[in-house]
Structure 1
Amino acid sequence: MGDWGPVVIAVVLFVLLTPGLLFHGVSILVHSIIYFALVAVFLIAIGVHITTG
């Protein structure tokens, strides 16, 4: 079956880091950089994997 680790990590970080992004331009850039860094750490460095089946 599929590996759900990247999907879960991406969704959780997206939900945690998006408050107010529609109205603050600088906030979008800062949160995008933080989001990219955390996703890279969790998916590449740590290697989070959640499998089903």
Structure 2
Amino acid sequence: MADWGPVLVATLLFVVLTPGLLFQIPGGQRVVCFGNMQTSGASILVHAVIYLCLITIFLVAIGVHIYAG
């Protein structure tokens, strides 16, 4: 049986944490900008660190597993 948990969690977090799609930290003139569809090097770094922290929590600490088949 295949474990689809890591694949689904990683894909969902990647889509949600894309800088500028839903939010951007740090924003252009503010700390957080919502839905501006722009990005910068600093926001890419911040979103990558947030992604790493969340993926570690969900996959290592909690251990999300979804079995199909």
Superposed pair shares fold, TM > 0.5? yes
- Are 1:41 and 2:61 counterparts? no
Tell me by how many angstroms 1:7 deviates: 0.4
Counterpart residue type for residue 61 of structure 2: A
Sequence identity percentage:
60
Tell me by how many angstroms 1:19 deviates: 3.4
Tell me by how many angstroms 1:34 deviates: 0.2
Tell me by how many angstroms 1:2 deviates: 1.1
Where relative contact order (Cα < 8 A, 6+ residues apart) is larger, the structure is 1
- Are 1:31 and 2:47 counterparts? yes
- Judging by fraction of residues, say which structure has more helix: 1
- Judging by fraction of residues, say which structure has more strand: 2
Uncovered stretches (5+) of structure 1, i.e. residues with no partner: none
Q: Give the Cα separation in 1 of the matches to 2:49 and 2:63.
A: 20
Q: Give the Cα separation in 1 of the matches to 2:53 and 2:14.
A: 12
Number of residues of Structure 1 aligned to a counterpart in Structure 2 = 53
Uncovered stretches (5+) of structure 2, i.e. residues with no partner: 25-37
Instruction: State which structure, 1 or 2, has the greater radius of gyration over its C-alpha atoms.
Output: 2
